[in-house]
Amino acid sequence: MPGWNEYPIPEFFTERYGISVLVDNDVNVMALGEQRRAFPDTRYLMFVKIGTGIGCGIIADGDLHRGAQGCAGDIGHIRVSGHEEAGCRCGNSACLEAVAGGAALARRLTDLGFEVSSGSGVVELVMSGNIQALRLVREAGRVVGEVLAGLVNFFNPEVIVIGGVLSAVHDHLVAGVREVIYRRSLPLATHHLEIVPSRTGADAAALGAGILAIEHFLSPGHIDQVLAGAARPAPPLRAAP
């Protein structure tokens, strides 16, 4: 969130309206919604959102893992090999999302003469049977798979869920992701690994945000605070940078 670093968003709303406010990033709440609703028995899950950019929400031992500063899972700026020409909005080059994100694919299709301005435009082209768009999406899946292959060895998830705008064309996208992960990750880590498109789809984020609020409200710490008749609301979560 350029320009918003360190801004106390929850405190701002809490002071103004006198309510508890939780702030989290989109892919974290999507991961939470997907796991609680579609994979309740899965304790280790990665939710990879491929939209304009690329991010990953991590469920570790059944709970969201945010990391020390709230930026765990920020995989969009991991460097991928062989794409030095792809400049990224972060100032580096060859970042995953600058190569395989929806905005990057739209730009490449525009260079090929198609009028595409966003990830949903890319999806429309693929659905209309455009071969070049289809190839680009599959190739994007392979590039995402290259990054995820290392993460699978590192984190050993049971399920990887692919969500976001581009998951609407998941046949091609997930095929590319699977191809590389099953080839490059350790056999022990992939033996029971499922790589699937999102089941909660466009509802993932809203579901997850609701669940985040409910679980916070029903948490032992909050209940204790209510019982103790504390006037002040529970300390809000910190916004991810």
Q: Judged by CB under 5 A, which stretch of 22-30, 51-59, 80-88, 148-156 contacts Zn ion? A: 80-88
Choose between 77 and 170: whose C-beta lies nearer to Zn ion. 77
- For residue 57, the minimal CB distance to Zn ion (Å) is 19
Confirm or reject binding of residue 95 to Zn ion (CB under 5 A).
Answer: yes
Select 77 or 142, whichever has its Cβ closest to Zn ion: 77
Q: Coil, strand, or helix at residue 232?
A: coil
Query: Smallest distance from the beta carbon of 92 to Zn ion, in angstroms?
Result: 5
Task: Tell me how crowded residue 222 is: count the other CB atoms within 10 A of its CB.
Answer: 16
Told to check if 71 binds Zn ion by CB under 5 A, we report: no
Structure tokens at 141: 């899946």
Q: Does 207 bind Zn ion (CB under 5 A)?
A: no
**Beta carbon nearer to Zn ion, 63 or 84:** 84
> Whole-number minimum distance, CB 179 to Zn ion, in Å?
24
**Shortest distance, position 65 Cβ to Zn ion, whole Å:** 22
Provide the token pair at 208: 């997850």
Say how many Å lie between the first and final Cα of the chain, rounded: 6
Select 1 or 90, whichever has its Cβ closest to Zn ion: 90
Residue 52 tokens read as: 């304009």
If binding is defined by CB under 5 A, does position 90 make contact with Zn ion?
yes
Distance between CA atoms of residues 116 and 214, nearest Å: 40
DSSP conformation letters of 62-83: TEE---SSS-TT-GGGSB-TT-
Quote the least distance from Cβ 237 to Zn ion, whole Å: 25
Which of 211, 208, 196, 209 lies closest to 48, judged by CA? 196
User: Minimum CB separation from Zn ion for residue 17, in Å?
Assistant: 36
Confirm or reject binding of residue 77 to Zn ion (CB under 5 A): yes
Select from 27, 31, 88, 159 the one that contacts Zn ion (CB under 5 A): 88
How many residues interact with Zn ion (rule CB under 5 A)? 5
Segment contacting Zn ion (CB under 5 A): 36-44, 86-94, 136-144, 199-207? 86-94
Taking alpha carbons only, the member of 51, 58, 52 closest to residue 201 is 51
Question: How long a stretch of residues is the chain?
Answer: 241
101's CB contacts (< 8 A; 6+ apart) are 50, 51, 52, 53, 54, 76, 119
What type of residue sits at position 185?
S
Residues numbered 5-24 forming contacts with Zn ion, rule: CB under 5 A: none
| Interface contacts to Zn ion, rule CB under 5 A | 77, 88, 90, 92, 95
